Amino acid sequence: MDMDYAQDVTRDRAPGDLGARMETDFTRLITSNRVPTAEERVSIQTRLEFLQGRLQSLSADLPAASTTVSAQPRAVQESMEALRSVISVTRRLPDDILCEIFRATVPPDPHMSTKEAPLLLGRICSGWRRLAYMTTPDLWKNVHVVVPDKAHLNRLCDAVDDWLSRSGALGLCVSLAVSDACEPDSDNIATVIDVLTRFSTRWRRVKLTLSPHTTLTPLTNLRPQDVPRLESISLTSIGVGTWRNSDAPLDVPWRKLPFLRTYALRKVSLVNLGGKFLTLPVIWPLLSSLTLLGGGLKDSTIYQFTMQSALLLLRECTRLVQLKLCVTSDQQVVAMPEADESSKNHLSTLVTMPLLTHLSVENREYALPNALHFFRSLVLPSLRSFAYEGPKYEYEYSTSAHRAILPFSPLLGQSALERLTMDIPGVTRAAFIHCMELVPKLKALRIEPGPGYDPWSPVGIATLQPTMSAEDLVQLLTTSNHLLANLRSLEIHRTSQLTDQAILDLLLSHGRSLRRLDVSLTRAREFDILPLVDHLVARGLDLRLRYLQSK
């Protein structure tokens, strides 16, 4: 507590027994975190009553007072606030209750900032600092570290070491990002990772941002026994170039990271990291979640993971529950799959994942036979949520006609799919109707805009059948009752090809069955829909319409 407050409290003596001794006691209470006794609380209440009377007296005389005297009401008021803090409920809270409050203030991935908990808690008072720093280790078990430039690196490393040292013996959740100030060709990232590895025996969830310029030595020195509690690892690469520990851009030195073979590992996420994942020293049958993505740069020199390689790897992942996958084009094109899926050749290539409930595929394969072969090879009886981004295809099924096809259609009839997400470019009316008919129990449909064109189709291949816009899709759903039999949630995002009238028609036709409609539009509002459907909102419809703000 500020010493000025203490001086203000003792400036005016209370009558009777509140003499110099009590004034000294007040000062000690205000400048410490000691909880006042019952007797002291009574004395403070008496003091407050005295100061309240003095404040009223000063306020009454204020119009005629001099400038010096007019400052006294403010000083008395501050003195009263200081005394009230001494007898406040917060001061009397037991330590275990305060610790629970502290835990509730810490975000899941706290930044190392004195403006946020838990560091902020230690700046309030010595008592809180003792509780936060020495008594509550779980405040320090999570941390988000941002790698700085060289000038601030040593200070950050010391702070990271201090932070994690306060976490006792608890399992750690650590994430590491790279600031714009970090020199691209420096070893700053490796230096911070080296500090983190000192606590590797307590790692539970680790998320690291790497760079091809990163020296992986701090990680290559780890063995499975060094990470006995590691459940989840997420590695993301930024930038391009050849990794220091390898000879080619795609050759991430996975074999030199033996710690990934720990028996505790259940979740793996790798983004923009080559693609030669078959060399990873992971115990694949133990995984429940796997993410292998190529990042935003669609460059085959940075990421390359063909559908055939993916099938080989997934054959080992028999216990996956969640899978996010980016697959790329293969120079070899397989023969067009037979219509009869019970053929012996097809059965020999099946990949069964009986527990998989969530699947997301970013497809960069332009050859229809490869894509069909991939999706027909997957057996996913428990699939409930599926997301797809990538090309749709046409193929010539007679000398005079072409048929549009969604390559993932073979998946849809295998299970009771409840949620479907897909990008709209390249989708034809016939293909969409066929898709919806395969998922009669679908409860949620999400339509994404996609890139606006199909970057993975070979040059010179044009779409012969007209594709759908968001307007076409909504009009089709409006007039086709059977396509919306069980649909409860519809999302359409980042489109300009959808009128407010089409949205209104959909709501008036199916608003009673829909529970949620979420539409974001890259255009201004044409008219206000809400007054026309307020009866639906009153019945519980969650309606979210977002428009481009007009300038």
- Region 538-551: what's the mean pLDDT? 88
The tens digit of pLDDT for each residue in 174-190 reads 999 888 778 777 788 88
pLDDT score, position 285: 97
Q: Which long-range contacts (CB under 8 A, 24 or more apart) does 195-199 make?
A: 195/157, 195/160, 195/161, 196/145, 196/160, 196/164, 197/221, 197/222, 197/226, 198/161, 198/164, 199/164, 199/172
Cβ neighbors of 370 (< 8 A, separation 6 or more) are: 306, 307, 308, 329, 330, 333, 334
Is the pLDDT score of 61 beyond 70?
no
Assigned token pair, 236: 């993301």
| Residue appearing with tokens 């900032």 | 113
Indicate the Cα dihedral angle 473, 479, 480, 485, nearest 10°. 100
**Rounded distance between C-alpha atoms, residue 499 and residue 34, angstroms:** 66
Cβ neighbors of 394 (< 8 A, separation 6 or more) are: 402, 403, 404, 405, 463, 464, 465
**Rounded distance between C-alpha atoms, residue 351 and residue 374, angstroms:** 9
Is the pLDDT score of 263 beyond 90?
yes
- Region 29-53: what's the mean pLDDT? 72
Residue 118: DSSP 8-state: T
pLDDT score, position 297: 60
- Percent above pLDDT 90 for the chain: 44
- Higher local confidence (pLDDT), 484 or 128: 128
Assigned token pair, 506: 């959909």
H/E segment holding residue 493: strand 489-495
Confidence of residue 40 (pLDDT cuts 50, 70, 90): confident
H/E segment holding residue 203: strand 203-210
Domain range annotation of the chain: 3-92, 94-139
Confidence of residue 48 (pLDDT cuts 50, 70, 90): confident
Average pLDDT over the chain, rounded to whole? 82
Confidence of residue 33 (pLDDT cuts 50, 70, 90): low
Assigned token pair, 50: 């005295």
H/E segment holding residue 360: strand 358-364
**Predicted model pTM:** 0.82
- Percent above pLDDT 70 for the chain: 79
pLDDT score, position 18: 43
- Region of residue 440 (left: phi > 0; alpha: psi -120 to 50; beta: else): alpha
- Region 170-177: what's the mean pLDDT? 95
pLDDT score, position 464: 54
**Rounded distance between C-alpha atoms, residue 101 and residue 79, angstroms:** 28
Q: CA geometry: angle at 307 spanning 301 and 312, to 5°?
A: 110
Asked if residue 472 lies in contact with residue 498, where contact means CB atoms within 8 angstroms, the answer is no
- Determine the straight-line distance between the first and last CA of the chain, rounded to whole angstroms: 49
User: What is the per-residue burial (b if ≥16 Cβ within 10 Å, else e) of 45-81?
Assistant: ebbbebbeebbeebeeeeeeeeeeeeebbebbbebbe
- Region 336-344: what's the mean pLDDT? 52
Cβ neighbors of 28 (< 8 A, separation 6 or more) are: 34
β-pairing, 542-546 vs 516-521, is parallel
DSSP strands (E only) in 399-450: 401-405, 419-423, 444-448
pLDDT score, position 14: 46
| Best CA proximity match to 135, nearest among 166, 90, 106, 171 | 166
The DSSP annotation for 123-174 comes to GT-HHHHHIIIII-GGGGSEEEEEE--GGGHHHHHHHHHHHHHTTTT--EEE
Indicate the Cα dihedral angle 26, 30, 33, 37, nearest 10°. 30
**Rounded distance between C-alpha atoms, residue 296 and residue 536, angstroms:** 40
| Best CA proximity match to 322, nearest among 263, 382, 264 | 382
Confidence of residue 284 (pLDDT cuts 50, 70, 90): very high
